[in-house]
Structure 1
Amino acid sequence: MESTNINQSNEYKRRINAVLDHLDQHYASEQGLETLAGIANFSPFHFHRIFKAILGESLYKDIQHIRIEKAAHQLKFQQQKSITAIALDCGFNSSAAFARTFKEYFAMSATAWRKNSIASMYIDPETNHAQWNLDMLSRKNVTIEVSDLPEVQLAYLRHIGPLKGQKKVGQTV
């Protein structure tokens, strides 16, 4: 009986991952519960329950999480684009809603994030964990090495849960 639960759980995760992949590609458009449930081949009610049980957050929160990450990336790498245009392109209904959500997730305004254009992830030499770095230029004796590495298979970790504050993302590693 236990192997049936494991297989069912793996199948549910595979289906939810298909939805997460869809959301990653279509984050800016309105995503209806019935459409997403159809991608996972669940009824809307069952899909919503399974999604929250697997990810630990609601579908709405996960979509918001994806949108805010995409916006943060655009703020950093598309400096010519206005903050309002980025907010609207990432699926936010207004710049006010975007500003509130951005500050909740990153503990700073979108303008401050953009001005501090060196914000990025790096591996902290003391802890060996990925950390948000907002002041990498202040570090001394940074050595960069470019190397050819042998081919390897890679896996990824999908961060599930709140992204509030800079320390939460580092906990994924």
Structure 2
Amino acid sequence: MQKRDTYNKHVQIANDTMYYIYEYIDTDINIDDLALSFGISKFHLHKIFKEIMGINIYEIIKSTRLQKASNLLLTNKYSTITQIASMCGYSSQTSFIRAFKERFHQTPKEWRNGGYKEYSMNILKNSTLALYEKKDFENIEPKIIKSKARATYYIRQRGYLKTQVVKIWQKLQAWVYTNNINNYEEIGIYHDNPSITPHSECFYVAGIIPKGEVDLSNTSLPLFYTPEALYATFEIKGELGDVLRFIQWAYHDWLPNSGFETTTNPSYVIFKKNHFLSEDGKFEATYYLPIQYV
């Protein structure tokens, strides 16, 4: 029991660290202060994080900054490269351009001017979730809403690969049955845009949002609250892989022409029918795309 308790505690620390990084990605993240908040040494924090997440903290901070920046460069045409660099925690445009070119093999300006298109197409072509195929989403009308914060119990997965994602959804399904939760929503959260991030590097979160009164005081699953923020929502349905094509369209086509810009908040889907659990591999969902007024 002690070994399991220790593991669960380490999972919570690693997930809280990830949550902190996402929330404060625009700042100079201080690992010493973070370790102090957990009551452990910086060395111990690094060790726990690497054990659970399979990557060290400084690598994930750098990766997150660049993934967020690559997304903002697609959509925020009213923001300068310097402003986008600052939104993702870079104090120097020179260091940002150097890091971006090392990661994407092109400058931020080249990426913004269309370099992302071939990069994205190759990712979807190589995906285990879908063969690349152009879909027509032009007739889907969005609604603009302000979401409420909702308590979400979740499993974080590094790797957006079909077999991995199915397993964590099955694990969550077992958790729901074990805790006798009858009324809930299923949420899939994309901290990394899977249309421009190699799927082996994506961090994907599968979660359950319980409704009504449920006693979960003894659960080992970590908990966070969805952002209270502005979103464009889209009603979508299709087969396995169509979510990826839709995300690509939303960021590459809809957002740049919408008059809105995006933020560093993640996009997510609320499933009415979950293709990772359904026998026919089909889904029905509401997709939430983070936006801001320009």
TM-score after normalising by structure 2: 0.44
Distance 1:63 1:126 in 2: 26
Match of 2:36 in 1: 38
Tell me, yes or no, if the aligned pair for 1:16 and 1:40 is still in contact at 8 Å. Answer: no
User: What's the TM-score once normalised by structure 1's chain length?
Assistant: 0.70
On the 8 A contact 1:75/1:114 being kept in 2, the answer is yes
Contact residue 15 and residue 41 of structure 1 kept, 8 A: no
Which of 178, 184, 187 is residue 154 of structure 1 equivalent to?
A: 187
Q: CA deviation at 1:111?
A: 0.9
| Alpha-carbon separation, structure 2, partners of 1:126 and 1:105 | 19
* Contact 2:127-2:199 at 8 Å conserved across structures: no
5 Å-filtered alignment, 1:127-166, equals 128-129=128-129, 142-144=135-137, 152-156=185-189
Contact 1:129 1:170 in 2 (8 A): no
Residue 103 (structure 1) aligns with: 101
Question: Percent identity between the aligned chains?
Answer: 24
For the residues of structure 2 that align with 1:85 and 1:112, how far apart are their CA atoms?
17
- Is the 2:73–2:84 contact (alpha carbons within 8 Å) kept by the matching residues of 1? yes
The root-mean-square deviation of aligned C-alpha atoms, in Å, is 3.5
Q: Deviations over 1:63-108 (max 9, x none)?
A: 1111112211221111121112211232113112111111222222
Amino acid at match of 1:169: P
- Return 5+ residue gaps in structure 2 as ranges: 141-183, 205-294
Equivalent residue number for residue 77 of structure 2:
79
Paired residue type of 2:86? L
Amino acid at match of 2:198: V
1:110-134 CA-to-partner distances (Å, cap 9, x unmatched) read: 1111111874868947854369xxx
Q: 1:157 to 1:53 in 2, by over 3 A?
A: farther
1:170 to 183, 199, 224: 199
What is the one-letter code of the residue matched to 1:108? Q
Equivalent residue in structure 1 for 2:15, among 14, 17, 42: 17
Between 41-50 and 107-116, the greater mean CA deviation after superposition: 41-50
Question: Structure 1 or 2: larger strand share?
Answer: 2
Higher helix share: 1
Unaligned runs of 5+ in 1: 160-165
Q: Give distance in 2, aligned partners of 1:13 and 1:22.
A: 14
